[in-house]
Amino acid sequence: MSKQKKPAGGLNIIIVGCGKVGTTLVEQLVKEGHDITIVDKNAKKIQELSSLYDIMGIVGNGASFSVQQDAGIENADLIIAVTESDELNLLCCTLAKRVAKCSAIARVRTPDYSKEIVYLREKLGLAMVINPELEASREASRILCLPTALEVNTFANGQAELIKYKIPEGNPLVGTTIAELSRKTATSLLICVVEREGEIYIPSGDFTMKKNDVISFCTQRNFSRTFFEDLSVKTNQVKNTMIIGGGKAAYYLAKRLIGMGINVKIIENDRQRCEDLSVLLPKAIIINGDGTDEELLREEGIEYAESFVALTGIDEENILLTLHARQVSNAKTITKINRINFKDVISRLDLGSVVYPRYITSEAIIAYVRAKNESGDSNIETLYHLFDHRVEAIEFKVDQESEVTGTPLQALDLKRHLLVAFINRNGKIIIPSGQDTIERGDTVMVVTTHTGFNDITDILK
C-alpha cells in the first residue's frame, strides 16, 4: 500500500495482458494472497476480472510509462508481461526494469526470439522468460517417449521424474499394497499420490491399489522404463506421430520429436503456414488440409499412427479429434487444451494425456513468486500442480541447516498428507526411506495436498 509498508505475506505484482495465461495467473496468485494489479487495453476484460477477483485494474497499454505509473510500478515487486505480442512484453519489462526495482517476467513465444532466449534474458535482466508453447511441447515429447504414462513431470534438472499412470485391468499392481511393491520390481520408486474415483490419497504402506487407480510415482530418470518392463507393460518410444494443427506448439514439438528420431506428420489447414513449416522442418511431412476431415485423416493413416497429438487452436476440436483417434486407432493421444475451464468434465472423458500450456507456465511463475516471497533459508526450484490443483509437488533447495536437516525422516514430525518423494544429493537421486536424512545442499521434493508451502520447514507440523 505504501512505499514502506507492505501487507504481510503478499508481493505487489503487476500483470500486463489478461489473456489465457494472464487470467490463470491472476486466479492462482490471488489465491496465494498477493496484491495484484492488472493492465490490459480491453476495458471489458479488466472489468470482468476485477469483479471476479480482489485486484485492481488499469486500462491502457502496459508498455507506456504513464500506465505503468498508474499501476504503481514504483512499489511493484514483480511485473509479468503476458500480452499477445512478444515485442510489447519485452518492451514492457525493459521499461519497468529501468524505472523501478522490480523483477520482470516476459512471455516470448515466437521461434525467432526463443532461440536467443538465454541471451535476451541476460541482456535485458529478466528474471524469467516463459514460452507456454515450448513448455507444452516439452511435456508432450516426454509423454511420447514414455507412452504408457499419462503425464511426465521432471525435477532436479531432469534427473528425477514424476509419472502419472493409470492401472489397467490385469496389471500386476492390482491388489498390491505399497509395501509389497518392492517385491514386484527392483526399481526404487515411491508412489506419491493415488486418485481413486475422484478422491485423492497420499498413500501409506498398507494402501492397496485397485484397477483404474491413477497413480503418480516418483523415480530416477530412465528407471521408469525398467519399472514398466517389470510390470510387463509395453513402453517403447513411439515411432511416428500425427500432429493436427501447425501452430507454434506443433513446430516446437515436431522439432524435438525429429531430434529423437520420430517420424512426424503435421496436418495444417493454412497453405502459407504449411509452406513456412516445410522450410523450418524439412524432415517432417507437412500435409495441407483440414485436420477435422475424417476422410483426410483416414487417407493419412490415422488407424496406423502410433501417436496422435491434437494441437489446433480450438479446444473443442482438439477434444473431438482425440476422441475420434482413440476410436479408430490404438494411438497414444495427447490433447492440448488452452482455454476451456471445464476441467472436471474433461478429466471424465477418455482423452489419454492432456496438456494445459497455460497451467505449465503459471506454475513456473508461481514457483518463482513463492521463492521470491520467502526470505528464509530455502528456495523453491520447481512446482507442479497435479490432479487438478489438488496436489502440489514442490522441489525445495535446502541452503541452510534447519530443524529438518540431519534428522532421519522417520524421526521428523511431518504433517499429514505429505511425502518426501526424493532427495537429490549432488545429482544423485535418493528415494528416501525412514532412515534417510535431509542434508544441507540437497534439493528435496515434497508431494502434498496442502497448499502454499514456501519453505522446507513447512513440512513439519
Partner 1 sequence: MNSSIIRYILGNVMRMEACFLLLPCIVSLVYGEGVGLYYLGTAIVCLAFGVVMAWKKPKNYVFYLKEGCIATSLSWIVMSLVGCMPFWISGEIPSFTDAMFETVSGFTTTGASILTNVEALSHTALFWRSFTHWIGGMGVLVFLLAIIPLSGGSNINLMRAESPGPSVGKLVPKMKYTARILYIIYFGMTILEFIFLIIGKMPVFDSICTAVGTAGTGGFGVKNDSLGSYSPYLQWVVAIFMILFGVNFNAYYYIIYRHFKKAFKMEEVRCYFAIILIATAIIFANILDHCVSIFDALTKSVFQVASLITSTGFSSTDFNLWPQICRTVLVLIMFIGACAGSTGGGIKVSRVIVLFKTMIKELHSYIHPKSIRKVNLDGKPVEHEIVRSINVYIVTFVIIFASSVFMVAFDGKDLVTNFTAVLTTINNMGPGLAEVGPAGNFSNFSVFSKFVFMFDMLAGRLELFPLLILFHPSAWKDLISKRAEARKF
* Closer residue to partner 1 (CB): 39 or 93: 39
Do residues 214 and 201 make contact, with C-beta atoms less than 8 angstroms apart? no
Distance between CA atoms of residues 252 and 281, nearest Å: 10
* Closer residue to partner 1 (CB): 96 or 257: 96
* Closer residue to partner 1 (CB): 51 or 222: 51
* Closer residue to partner 1 (CB): 52 or 179: 52
* Closer residue to partner 1 (CB): 36 or 140: 36
* Closer residue to partner 1 (CB): 75 or 292: 75
Distance of CA 115 to the CA centre of its chain: 21
Least separation in angstroms between residue 78's CB and partner 1 is 13
Do residues 381 and 433 make contact, with C-beta atoms less than 8 angstroms apart? no
3-state secondary structure of 202: coil
Least separation in angstroms between residue 378's CB and partner 1 is 27
* Closer residue to partner 1 (CB): 28 or 131: 28
Distance between CA atoms of residues 447 and 40, nearest Å: 36
Query: C-alpha angle with apex 347: 341 to 353, nearest 5 degrees?
Result: 105
Do residues 178 and 206 make contact, with C-beta atoms less than 8 angstroms apart? yes
Least separation in angstroms between residue 61's CB and partner 1 is 12
* Closer residue to partner 1 (CB): 48 or 317: 48
Distance between CA atoms of residues 123 and 312, nearest Å: 34
Least separation in angstroms between residue 30's CB and partner 1 is 7
Least separation in angstroms between residue 421's CB and partner 1 is 31
Least separation in angstroms between residue 347's CB and partner 1 is 17
Query: C-alpha angle with apex 390: 387 to 391, nearest 5 degrees?
Result: 80
Least separation in angstroms between residue 37's CB and partner 1 is 5
Binding site for partner 1 (CB under 8 A): 1-2, 7, 10, 12, 30, 35-37, 43, 50-56, 59, 72
Least separation in angstroms between residue 8's CB and partner 1 is 11
Least separation in angstroms between residue 49's CB and partner 1 is 8
For the purposes of burial, counting CB atoms within 10 Å of the CB of 13, is it exposed (0-12), middle (13-18) or buried (19 or more)?
buried
Least separation in angstroms between residue 451's CB and partner 1 is 14
Do residues 294 and 324 make contact, with C-beta atoms less than 8 angstroms apart? yes
| Short-list 386, 438, 429, CA closest to 411 | 438
Number of C-beta neighbours around residue 51 at 10 A: 9
Strand pairing of 199-201 and 189-196?
antiparallel
Do residues 431 and 190 make contact, with C-beta atoms less than 8 angstroms apart? yes
Q: Long-range contacts of range 165-171, CB-CB < 8 Å, 24 or more positions apart?
A: 165/214, 165/215, 165/216, 165/217, 166/212, 166/213, 166/214, 166/215, 167/209, 167/210, 167/211, 167/212, 167/213, 167/214, 167/215, 168/211, 168/212, 169/211, 169/212, 170/211, 171/211, 171/231, 171/233
Helix axes 248-259, 271-280, angle to 10 degrees: 30
* Closer residue to partner 1 (CB): 27 or 436: 27
The grid coordinates of residue 276 equal: 513456412
For the purposes of burial, counting CB atoms within 10 Å of the CB of 310, is it exposed (0-12), middle (13-18) or buried (19 or more)?
buried
| Short-list 94, 46, 53, CA closest to 71 | 46
* Closer residue to partner 1 (CB): 4 or 426: 4
Least separation in angstroms between residue 64's CB and partner 1 is 13
* Closer residue to partner 1 (CB): 47 or 182: 47
3-state secondary structure of 137: helix
User: Residue 162's beta-bridge partner residues?
Assistant: 153, 218
Least separation in angstroms between residue 252's CB and partner 1 is 35
* Closer residue to partner 1 (CB): 119 or 342: 342
